[in-house]
């Protein structure tokens, strides 16, 4: 892999917003929330919980 996908469309600037202590937008990194309390690398345990 050589890097990021280059899009013919420019990214639109946005303002970052604090949502419950997590920055969203404004160049902040993507945040993923999980509803499991297991180690998601442990597939069997995670599937059993879901």
What is the secondary structure of the chain as a DSSP string?
Answer: --SSPPPSSPPPP---EEETTEEESTTPPP----S--S-TT-HHHHHHH-
Quickly state the pLDDT bin for 4 (edges 50, 70, 90): low
pTM of the model: 0.47
User: Greater confidence, 22 or 8?
Assistant: 22
Quickly state the pLDDT bin for 11 (edges 50, 70, 90): confident
Q: What's the whole-number average pLDDT of the chain?
A: 86
pLDDT at 1 over 60: no
């Amino acid at each position: 892999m050589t890097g990021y996908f280059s899009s013919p469309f420019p990214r639109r600037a946005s303002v970052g917003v604090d949502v419950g202590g997590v920055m969203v937008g404004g160049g902040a990194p993507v945040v993923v929330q999980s509803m499991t309390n297991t180690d998601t690398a442990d597939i069997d345990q995670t599937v059993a919980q879901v």
